[in-house]
Amino acid sequence: MLKNYSVKNNIALLLFVGSILMTMISISCTISSPNKQGENLYNQNCATCHGDEGEGLRNLYPPIANADYLQLHREELSCIIKNGMKHPIVVNGKDYHMPMPAATNLNAVEIHNILNFICNSWGNNLGYFTPKEVEAQLKKCQ
Amino acid sequence: MKYSFLLFAASIFTFFSCVDSANESYDENARLPILGERAFVDGDTVYHTAPQFDFINQDSVNISPALFENRPYIVDYFFTTCPTICPRVKAEEIRVFDHFENRPELGFLSVSIDAGKDKVYKLKEYAEKLGVGTPRWHFVTGDEDHIYDIANDFFHIAQKDPDAPGGFDHDGRLILIDKNKHIRAFCDGTDGEQVDRFIKDVEKLLREK
């Protein structure tokens, strides 16, 4: 009886440890990026044109990955996402002039998360934006 | 014990829900069906055929089915300022186009549903920016009513909708037409896995005698 009980207990322990391990693996596969919300928002709002890996589309839509434009226009990025863009731009030496639609559905927190995702992914290394920085940028939009 | 077991079962479930589901198998030998409605006339089956059309392409050349005489081609609907699905469909379609680089007989027909904005020079610019174009890939426009009429025949849902982003609502299907003008396959051009399968369908069609 006693022996049976301890075997049962061992199996229970094994199952318990196994569950914890598997749950951890599952969690690590869902949280693969530190900017998960930014990544989700990017996929919903930006990826159709700019690509799943920020690669852009040929000479039609500019890349975001390794784009000098982000470095050179850091101060304007929040407003570009919020209000879109109508004027031609140069990215990594190439001209692009398809208009970018405004993302009026996004609030400051969401723009902040998108920026932190794109500015620290695919070879971009601009560091993190603070929520205050994004709010300040948005107040100054033209 | 009972709870540990339940916990274990639940963790297995979450584990597998995070692993990609297995690919559907693909039958290399099954012949592609002829899609669309069919009629029976004097004991013979009459299959649905792609409609007659009269367009103008990015080089200002008239485009009718005669261009694809005895050749298969792929049709899609788009417009150059579409902010939603078109860029993704175009990226996938370019993948198809590149895959069949050495099959010049396979044509591509991208029909703009925004006749108002997508003038010939816009289509020309769009094609050039994508780095594709004639003689294999035709970006075309035409009379608006005509565009919508034949859209139905290509069994697309392409209608003017002021509530849709960009002012139009349409789907991102790629449609494969064979040399006898029959519709043989289609896929959702926004879905990479479906496009992979579509590429196999096109390969299969090109192998047909």
Tell me what the pLDDT averaged over chain B comes to.
Answer: 86
Q: What is the pLDDT of residues A1-31, one digit of tens each?
A: 555 666 667 777 777 776 776 666 655 545 5
Return the pLDDT at B17.
54
Dist. CA B76–CA B96, nearest whole Å: 13
Contacts of A60 in chain B (CB under 8 A): 87, 90, 126, 129-130
Domains of chain B: 49-207 (3.40.30.10)
Dist. CA B119–CA B58, nearest whole Å: 9
Compute the count of residue pairs across chains A and B with CB atoms less than 8 Å apart: 72
- Tell me, letter by letter, the H, E, C secondary structure of B85-143: CHHHHHHHHHHHHHHCCCCCCCEEEEEECCCCCCCHHHHHHHHHHHCCCCCCEEEEECC
Q: Does residue B149 carry a pLDDT above 90?
A: no
Return the pLDDT at A103.
94
Largest CA distance in chain B: 76
Q: Do A51 and B83 touch (CB under 8 A)?
A: no
Q: Helix, strand, coil % (nearest 5) of chain A? A: 55, 5, 40
Least confident of A24-33, A95-104, B22-31, B150-159: A24-33
Asked if residues B30 and B95 have their Cβ atoms less than 8 Å apart, the reply is: no
Nearest CA to B195 among B176, B179, B178, B177? B176
Q: What is the pLDDT of residues A47-93, one digit of tens each?
A: 999 999 999 999 999 999 999 999 999 999 999 999 999 999 999 99
**Residues of B within an 8 Å Cβ radius of A:** 1, 4-5, 7-8, 10-12, 14-15, 17-18, 81, 83-88, 90-91, 94, 126, 128-131, 165-166
Asked if A89 is an interface residue toward chain B (Cβ–Cβ < 8 A), one would say no
Chain A: give the shortest CA distance to residue B44, in Å.
46
Q: Do A60 and B129 touch (CB under 8 A)?
A: yes
DSSP state of A87: S
Asked if residues B68 and B107 have their Cβ atoms less than 8 Å apart, the reply is: yes
3-state secondary structure of B80: coil
Mutate to test the interface with A, among B8, B98, B139, B191 (most CBs of A within 10 A): B8
Tokens of B106: 């396979």
Nearest CA in chain A to B15: A26
Return the pLDDT at A9.
73
What is the reported pTM? 0.79
Q: What is the pLDDT of residues B115-125, one digit of tens each?
A: 999 999 999 99
Least confident of A14-28, B49-63, B129-143: A14-28
Return the pLDDT at B3.
65
List, in sequence order, every beta strand (DSSP E) within chain A: 89-91, 94-96
